[in-house]
Amino acid sequence: MADREQKGAGWERFEALYRSSRDDLYAYVLTLLRDRSAAEDVTALAFERAYARQRSFDRRRGEERAWLFGIARNAALDELRRRRRSASLVAEPQELEGDTLAQPGSDDEELAQRREAVREALGALSPRERELIALKFHAGLTNAELANVLGVSESNAGTLVHRAVQKLRRAVNAPV
């Protein structure tokens, strides 16, 4: 009986985590993989793994959200490795086209140009910098959680994020 209640509470917690993280996780994975189809697969896989490993979660080592993004990161990096191994069988990662993206709200020409500039600036960043930006702004992780996911110290994580942000700012504001 108590076991069933515990399982029920665990499921509710996982469902809440899923609801609050689904879109953010997808955005983060897509930033890493730059391939919608692969990002969907890896997002689903990350949630499935998280569900299977619920019991291995230790709150003392960080928040559930950071734990989930850690799982997603490993899954995404494994996907990158797999893609590298079968490079000849898989097409080059598709660049995300602004026209095909689902964007909320209306858009005018200036805004479109601005978005394009941001996308180009993001594209100019290294994969690690893009990952930092995604973890910070899409996942909304604190520096401590970010450090936990990346396996670096908290201060180092903060420094890395700051540098990436500065680089992004410069790239966005750079004259075309």
Partner 1 sequence: MRPSDEIPFEQGDYSDVALMLASVREWPAEEFARELDARVQRRFGRQGGAAGGAAGRRPRRPGRMLRWVLGPASAAVAAGVAAVIVLSAQGPASPSRNGALTGHGSSQPSQLVLHAHANRAPAGSKPRFQGLGAPVVTPAVHAPSKSAGASLSSNSGASSLGASGTSSFNTAGVNATSAAPVIPGAKQIQSAQISLATPNQHVDQVALEVIGVVSLEHGTVQSSQITSGTSSSGGGYASFLLSFPTTNLQDALNRLSRLQFAALSSRTDGSQNVSGAYNADERQLTNAKDLRLALLKQLAAATTQQQIDSIDAQLKLATAQIAHWQAVLAALQHRISYSNVSVQINAGGLPILPVVHNSSFFTLGRASHDALRVLVVSAGVALIALAVALPVALLVALLMWLWVWRRQRRREHALDSAA
Residues 69-98 binding partner 1 (CB under 8 A) are 74-75, 77-82, 84, 93, 96, 98
CB distance 108 to 140 below 8 Å: no
**CB of 46 vs partner 1, minimal distance in Å:** 9
Least distance from partner 1 to the Cβ atom of residue 18, Å: 5
Q: Kindly identify the residues of this chain, within the stretch 4-63, that bind partner 1 according to CB under 8 A.
A: 11, 15, 18, 22-23, 26-27, 30-32, 36-38, 40-45, 47-49, 51-56
Residue closer to partner 1, measured from CB, 19 or 60: 19
Nearest partner of 96 among 125, 71, 73, 122, judged by Cα: 122
Which residue lies nearer to partner 1 by CB, 1 or 44? 44
| Segment 139 to 168, residues that bind partner 1, using CB under 8 A | 142-143, 151, 155, 158-159, 161-163, 165, 168
Of 58, 60, 89, 104, the one binding partner 1 (CB under 8 A) is 104
- Amino acid in position 70: G
- Site for partner 1 (CB under 8 A): how many residues? 71
The whole-angstrom separation of Cα 41 and Cα 82 is: 13
Least Å distance between CB 65 and partner 1? Answer: 15
Per-residue tokens: 28:
């983060």
Amino acid at 94: Q
Three-state DSSP class for residue 105: coil
Binding positions for partner 1, 105-124, rule CB under 8 A: 111, 114-115, 118-119, 122
Q: Which one, 60 or 92, has the nearer CB to partner 1?
A: 92
Measured from the CB atom, the residue of 38 and 66 that comes closer to partner 1 is: 38
Terminal Cα-to-Cα distance of the chain (whole angstroms): 65
Shortest spacing between CB 1 and partner 1, in angstroms: 20
